[in-house]
Structure 1
Amino acid sequence: MSLSDKKKDQKIGVSRIKIVIAVDSFKGSVSSLQAGEAIKNGILRVCPDREVVVSPMADGGEGSAEAILYTLGGKKVHVNVKGPLMDSVSAEYVIFPYNGTDHVFIESASSCGLTLIPEERRTPMKTNTFGLGEQIKDAIKRGYRHFILSLGGSATNDGGIGMLQALGWQFFDENGNLIGKEANPLLNTAAMSTQKVLSEIAECKFTIANDVLNPFYGPSGAAHIFARQKGASDAEIVELDKGLERFARILYKETGIDVQEIPGAGAAGGLGGAMAACLNAKMASGAEIIMELTGLKDKIRWADLVITGEGSIDQQSLLGKVPVTVAKYAKHHRKAVIGLAGRIDTELERINEHLDAVFSIQTQCRTLDEAMLEEITTKQLEVTAEQVMRLLVNSRKIYCN
């Protein structure tokens, strides 16, 4: 039903317009829930009797756990594990009910994320994913068998070997020596063994929340595309890439799976490939997963107007980010979609294929630091949402009375 039909519909008793707000966090400023509530406040200033639902969104990374907990309930489990440099860190994962079964959601960055390491100590030649494996193992030992694993923000490029070590896989160098847990085990791995793998792994179902499509190795692979931002030099990138290519051959020999053929295997320094080959994990869009888990698809079908957004709406938004993912689904169901953002790209032709209109929330000239203050972002979201609603009401696209 289009917004322009509302006046006619009200005459025959159709209920008042329903609005769904599904925005990502404005990173470094406000959470998804905070942003959604601010937008709702702006809408209600114009149309105080509207039905407005805030449905927090994320793309599988930061903010995903909060969106799940807000919508589905559940609990956080805190556990001490090894960080990317094998020092002790306090990590967490979320247990939540879904379709009658308890599920586990783990953000890999909570145990092997780049933010856990001071900038001067960042190097993928020494970091690994052992702590993520410890998180998975802890949940398995508590009896959980359904896992959703998000891969964004890692500090690692170990091909997922550290994670596998924590779950019982063994790796050996070219001389047959067992490789320890320290530093990056990928660099010396020449063979692997499954003899001591946790037996419960076979009972588990793993889904990867991931929007990266890079292959395991090669010019577009994990090392060449992502290792530099994790602290690697040009020579180290070449070494890491050779290690990934060697490990891909080992995985094919042991599992029969060619990880190089799996889109996204290069995510998080090769974690995606290790999970696909050894955990039988399935890749899925992070934003799509959160939409499904939080029931957003049902809410969009119920709505007449959808408001989405994030800190920046630009060409990167086309690559599985929240605003475009939400908008695509909404447009499929012929809903009006509006986007709000801290900044918008001036080249928005493809963005407008999915969103009817996009608005920047900036109301005056400010420094970036000022604009990202929580109180400023909240106020600007409220004001912009109010003005958008006034436009829709005054142009008779929405009726408030």
Structure 2
Amino acid sequence: MLAATEDSEHQTYTLGSAYPVTISGTLKDSLGTALVGYRVVALGKIDAQSAQTEVSTVDYVTNGQYTITLADSVVGQIEIAATPYEDNVVAPSLHLTNMSPTPGARPLAQPSGLGNSVKVKLLVKGLAGDGMVKPVTGARVIVTGTVDAAFTGAAGAELTSEAITGDDGYATLSLLDGVALVPTYKLRIVPPASSNLGAVYDAPFALTTTDVQLPSRVAISGKVVDFAGTPLRDVTVTARRSQRFLWTLRPEAQDFLDEIPAATTITQANGIFVVWVDPALDDAWGRYDVTFETPKGSTAPTWQILDLEIPRVSSQATINLDSVTMPDAAYLHGRIVDPHGEPVEGSSLRIFQIPPPTTLCTDLTHAPDVCELDAQVAGTGESDGDGIVRLDVARP
């Protein structure tokens, strides 16, 4: 780690290791023919508590052979991943898992039964506000198939095809029709931002599928008023998944949930708002943090309703919050200056509220090993030409 705490003369830094760990191998298809056009890298951890990341040099394979060098600080087992990098090639990524981070040969070979490339055209539709079923534009469609390793030391394979629906609601996917992949295909769909239509997660998918109808979401509605009961217009209302919702899910579903854009809208002149959220995902019912951010110049502070639970009633279409009263505000101001004491214009200042101690990290099955709760934005402001920044926060 390099800490730049003060001015210093130019230094010489030596990169690389005196004892590098080099791993090499071949890439072949199931018939033994060399594969090209793959990006090969090792995945692992730099320390026991960190997330998996790339921990080696990268080799772009042009002759069916690769060589990579591991970082010195790798902890635990590694995975060698080979991913096609040419857009016009329909081929799976290959994965050697639970490998020791030691020098040696690690050959990768495609499993048999992958088949040939096929194009699948899928119509995505949903129930519109007028009660008619219509094509959905801008939905993200992902189909994934996997083939497990046939034996210890063999490579597993994963094929993913992704497309965005056009104005006609169609997405065209490039897949393989082999017997090893076809039974494993799963469909995921991320709807357009702030849509009233919901996500699809890991639904079985057949090559003969021609259309999919998205489920309807649940509406969270209400009216935003100030401390005196006056409706507030132009308040940005955003519903984001809560950490309880996230950590109730399996890790794979957590990643997908975070790919769904947060639902957002702006209050009308009468303070009315509606945002649409998924009532559930996988095996977990939804819970959301709803943020109310007032426009610039407003005397009302930012406010939040945390961990709002979606009732476990499958037929419920709306959650009415009635009147959401913004709390009385406390007004803060200060001055932002540079290291020489000169005012800085246009700097953004945010005040965060640290969450109180909770048993959330220990109560939930899929909370991360390094469990940190999100701080909540309590107020924002921007400095003027004199460096003065003013912001409103909820009065305790």
Question: TM-score w.r.t. structure 1 length?
Answer: 0.25
Question: TM-score w.r.t. structure 2 length?
Answer: 0.25
More strand by share: 2
Q: Larger C-alpha radius of gyration, 1 or 2?
A: 2
Per chain length, whose mean CA-contact separation is higher, i.e. which structure has more relative contact order (CA < 8 Å, sep 6+)? 1
More helix by share: 1
